[in-house]
Amino acid sequence: MRLSESFSIDPNADWVQEHNAEVREVLAAYDSDKPIRVPMTSWDGAHMHGFYADEIGLDYRDYYSNVELMLQTQLEAARRRREIPVADLPLGQAPDTWSTALDMHPVPAPGWLGCEVLFRETSVPAHRCQHLSKEACRKMQMPDPRTGNFLGKIVPMWEEMKKLCEGLTYLGAPVGQPWSGVCQHGVFGLCIDLRGEDFMADMYEDPEFAHEFILKVATWCDALEAAWRPEGDKPGGYGFGDHGIEMLSPHLYEDFVVPVIKEINRRRGTTPPTGLHHCGTGTHLFPIMQNHFGLTAIDSLTFPLVDIAKVRADLGEDITITAGIESEIIKSGPPERIRQTVKELLTAAKGKGRFTMQVGDMLRGVPMDHRIAYYEAVKEFGTY
């Protein structure tokens, strides 16, 4: 495996030192709840490699089949994120530990349940909905939570990656042991993956079946998480982040989804986490979530798809909000449009604090000057 031996920028260059000093100041002020500017956050998610895939012309079909290439790409992409001024991330500095994962995001759970997984040249994996009949849903048995269906592909690749990471260092810092990447992104979304859009009709036409099936799938999700939980770790709260819930009315969400979240947490002896990841348009459900689960933070709200200023007005500024601009705006530009969109959002929604912007997943096809314009606009209009 060929890895870079140094950063491609000079860590001692004036512009790098100025950037890093500003990042330290902005993040310290935010952490003390005395913000001087809205931070532009980034994180070391293993799947944040689209921009780097563009740079090297990566065929994703190779990435998802070659463990050594997957690890190399993750590490090199993490290095590149520390060389380009697109977020409040220190440049030219290695982290304490490099994060890695067996990256099959976002398909491990639907693949485990038997959905066909599709690998494509220029994008992350996708899966096909199964459109099972109600009878097939009733008869369906839980696949083995360690090796069932698609997990049978993940396990040997994960074991190979763990061996590659043993004792490995990169740019002077140790490479951490990889996360398996096995998780689920919400029980309602998985019900749709299995039953298709007919599950929406089931909630009206056969609510008994719908209640039964969503609890069945949630029970399987609980088993999946338990099977992949590190030995000795206690279960955390079963979360309420989900895909597709924006299609539900507050009544349907409260009737079908809320009881399942509460039941799985009752079985675990836990309470739901109070943070929510939601990149959809389900803001009409936030008051229900706040009432039942006690929201303290919401991340990945997308503007102008979502009226984020209204969310803050409705829920209060004690709730931490992390927002982003619609990916199509960042992709298409031009930079002045990006600047004006950021201005509109921050002028209306940044409030007195507890508000951050996020760089996003850094997907393919976005010109780098658009990403830089995005960050510069946050710095321009995010000051307090």
Mean pLDDT by 10 residues, the chain (384 residues): 97 99 99 98 92 98 99 98 98 98 98 98 97 98 98 98 99 98 97 98 99 99 97 95 96 98 98 96 98 97 98 97 97 98 99 96 95 99 98
Question: pTM to 2 decimals?
Answer: 0.96
pLDDT at position 334, please?
A: 98
Would you state the pLDDT for residue 150?
Answer: 98
* Nearest by Cα to 41 from 9, 76, 87, 105: 87
Q: Are strands 275-277 and 297-303 parallel, antiparallel or unpaired?
A: parallel
Can you give the pLDDT at residue 43? Answer: 87
Q: Which two tokens stand for residue 354?
A: 């507890």
Q: Alpha-carbon distance 371 to 384, whole Å? A: 22
Q: Which of 359, 360, 364 is nearest to 123 (CA)?
A: 364
In Å, how far are 257, 294, 317, 318, 323 from 298, measured between CA atoms? Answer: 18, 11, 12, 11, 9
Give the residue from 183, 180, 173 showing the smallest Cα distance to 78.
Answer: 173
Read off the tokens for 360. 């996003």
3-state secondary structure of 18: helix
pLDDT for 331:
97
What is the enclosing helix (H) or strand (E) of 372?
Answer: helix 368-381
Extents of the domains making up the chain: 296-384
